[in-house]
Amino acid sequence: MSSPACSFCGKTQSEVMQLVASPPVAICDECAMLAVQMISIKHPDWRERLMRTLALLPKRPGETK
C-alpha cells in the first residue's frame, strides 16, 4: 500500500510538515491552513472558537504546564 497523501493537493508526508490521515482521506498542514483561512473569513465566530481551542493546547505535544 502506498503512503497516505493529502486528499486535496496530493502531497505525501515526506513533502509536508504534517499529514493528518483519517482513512480513506487525509489533509496536509498546508491545506488545513487554507481551510482555516477560508472558514475564518466566512465565519468570524468560528475563528474565535478556534482561538479559544488553540489557547487550551500545550505549547508542544506532551508538554505539561
Which candidate, 53, 26, 56, places its Cα nearest to that of 39? Answer: 53
What is the smallest separation between the CB atom of 34 and Zn ion, expressed in angstroms? Answer: 8
Contact pick of 1, 4, 5, 6 for Zn ion (by CB under 5 A): 6
Question: Three cell numbers at 33?
Answer: 491552513
Q: How far is CA 56 from the centre of its chain?
A: 16
- Which residues from 9-28 bind Zn ion, rule CB under 5 A? 9, 28
Helix (H, G, I), strand (E, B) or coil at 47: helix
Closest to Zn ion by CB, 9 vs 41, is 9
**What is the contact surface with Zn ion in residues (CB under 5 A)?**
6, 8-9, 28, 31
